[in-house]
């Protein structure tokens, strides 16, 4: 079966905000949760999202030091076949790269909940950056480079990806002005390979393409009984030796008969 790889770049969620904290101003930390019903759906022919980059940006616009925001994206397989899902979370431009954002710290959590309600933490960093890191979110990017396996979804099954970003108010102080960060969430899916018949070896090639690079992985799946294969090889070898021996005996008998006839 020819596998179909479909990729969807889920929006650069742009976080842009401006704040000025004056003397004597009290800053209250708040926890925000996205209000949008965001989803990515595969129908067997292509992938579609129910939201835009601007909607994601609006949700996290202008969060202040000490605040946190949780984004939620549902993934859904509406096709008639089982599908394998992949995900990548890349940060194009981190908050640490801003001219007024040096020395900031981030809490960053990426988790997935499958159709059965089981939660898997894909990445969790209590504090990235701070005074020791000027490119905090780039560290996260390095940990999640390329596409990684997310889940296998059957027909009409779905799961949910949660992305939480928290700004540490203590280390950021009043320096967060004209904050700019762009988070990019990429999803990819492919029709799942059918179960391999016992006794066969199957090579699975998975190719996941990004803008300028291709991630290619080859995995050999051993489905046969290796000891049985060795047994068959041994039997074949013994059979060959026996046939060779019989052939030599037959040649000797024929030669002896010919010599006897010449003497007579």
Domain boundaries, the chain: 5-195, 225-264
pLDDT at 186 > cutoff 50 = yes
- Mean pLDDT (whole number) for 65-71: 80
Give the residue among 113, 196, 175, 185 at the shortest CA–CA distance from 148: 185
Mean pLDDT, rounded, for 74-97: 74
The answer to whether 10 and 40 are in contact (CB under 8 A) is: yes
More reliable by pLDDT, 24 or 35:
35
Q: Please state the rounded mean pLDDT for residues 179-198.
A: 67
Dihedral (C-alpha) 198, 202, 204, 205: value to the nearest 10 degrees?
Answer: -170
Note the pLDDT tens digit of each residue in 2-24: 444 455 544 443 333 333 333 33
Instruction: Quickly tell me which residue has 């006839």 as its tokens.
Output: 261
In contact, 34 and 69? CB cutoff 8 Å: yes
The answer to whether residue 25 scores a pLDDT higher than 70 is no
Neighbours of 63 (CB within 10 A): 22
How much is the pLDDT for 1? 44
Higher pLDDT, 161 or 59: 161
Residues in the chain: 264
Percent of the chain with pLDDT over 70: 34
Average pLDDT over residues 193-218: 46
167 vs 115, higher pLDDT = 115
Strand partners, 42: 47, 77
CA distances (Å), origin 109, targets 63, 91, 184: 17, 14, 14
Which pLDDT score, from 0 to 100, does residue 37 have?
75
Q: Would you state the pLDDT for residue 77?
A: 95
Region of poorest pLDDT, from 64-78, 149-163, 198-212: 198-212
User: What average pLDDT score do residues 60-72 get?
Assistant: 76
Band of pLDDT at residue 31, cut at 50, 70 and 90: low
Q: What is the mean pLDDT of the chain?
A: 63
């Amino acid at each position: 079966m020819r596998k179909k790889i479909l990729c969807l770049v889920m929006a650069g969620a742009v976080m842009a905000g401006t704040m000025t904290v004056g003397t004597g101003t009290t800053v209250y930390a708040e926890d925000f949760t996205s209000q949008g019903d965001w989803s990515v759906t595969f129908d067997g022919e292509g992938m579609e999202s129910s939201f835009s980059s601007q909607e994601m940006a609006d949700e996290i616009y202008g969060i202040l030091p000490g605040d946190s925001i949780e984004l939620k994206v549902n993934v859904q397989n509406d096709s008639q076949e089982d599908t394998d899902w992949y995900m990548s979370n890349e940060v194009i431009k981190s908050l640490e790269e801003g001219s007024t954002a040096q020395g900031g710290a981030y809490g960053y959590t990426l988790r997935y909940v499958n159709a059965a309600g089981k939660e898997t933490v894909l990445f969790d960093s209590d504090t990235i950056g701070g005074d020791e890191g000027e490119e905090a979110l780039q560290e996260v990017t390095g940990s999640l480079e390329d596409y990684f396996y997310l889940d296998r979804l059957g027909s009409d099954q779905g799961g949910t990806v949660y992305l939480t970003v928290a700004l540490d108010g203590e280390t950021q102080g009043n320096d967060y002005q004209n904050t700019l960060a762009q988070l990019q969430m990429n999803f990819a899916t492919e029709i799942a390979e059918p179960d391999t018949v016992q006794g066969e070896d199957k090579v699975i090639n998975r190719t996941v393409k990004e803008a300028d690079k291709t991630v290619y992985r080859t995995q050999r799946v051993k489905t046969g009984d290796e000891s049985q294969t060795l047994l068959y090889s041994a039997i074949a070898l013994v059979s060959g030796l026996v046939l060779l021996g019989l052939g030599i005996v037959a040649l000797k008998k024929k030669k002896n008969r010919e010599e006897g006839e010449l003497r007579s």
